[in-house]
Amino acid sequence: MDKLGFEEQVSISLDDHDTLVADSETDSSDTSSSDQFRCFARNGLIKVEEDRNEHDIIKKGFLVGMGQLEKETDVVAVHRNSYAGLTGQARFETFRIFAQAVAQKCGGNANIKYAWYGGSREEIFEIITHGFSRCRRPEKIEVYGHGVYLSPAKFSMDGALSSGVDENGLR
């Protein structure tokens, strides 16, 4: 789980040789967990290492939102969007400009909030590639109709429960 193939990521400064050496030095138990997250790196996500402050903040926020299941919940990895592709960079820059415009209009406060989105691995990859603009019909009937369902930051359990379990038993 510690080593991922970052050679496709623009924002990571590893060359192919360093990545191959790191991968070859892992034992067999690390290789299987590394492989299950390798597809995240290929789809524009970067693993946030456990010793990073960013990892701790996200993990703690997620666990607190799990309520009574906090003690029974294991966070096995945290990833962030690298915005490595031209489209991703354009989408991020557009969001930044829009947030500035809203802040200017509202007296300096864009009122940006954090939220959780619970989806399958494939849905997450589609969002990374195309953004939330490609909404598709819900697979099950939803209370509020067609659209994107986000869970408030304090209620990560809602996002976790709305995501499917993958072939490795992870959400």
Nearest in space to 119 (alpha carbons), one of 77, 163, 167, 155: 163
User: Hey, how many other C-beta atoms are within 10 angstroms of the C-beta on 36?
Assistant: 17
Residues 6+ apart with CB under 8 A from 121: 39, 166
Average pLDDT over residues 68-96: 90
- Whether pTM exceeds 0.85: no
Is residue 75 within 8 A of residue 63, CB to CB? The reply is: yes
**Parallel, antiparallel or unpaired: strands 115-116 and 79-81:** unpaired
If one compares 147 and 113, the residue with the highest pLDDT of the two is 113
User: pLDDT tens, 26-62?
Assistant: 333 344 456 778 888 888 889 999 999 999 999 999 9
pLDDT band at 18 (very low <50, low <70, confident <90, very high): very low
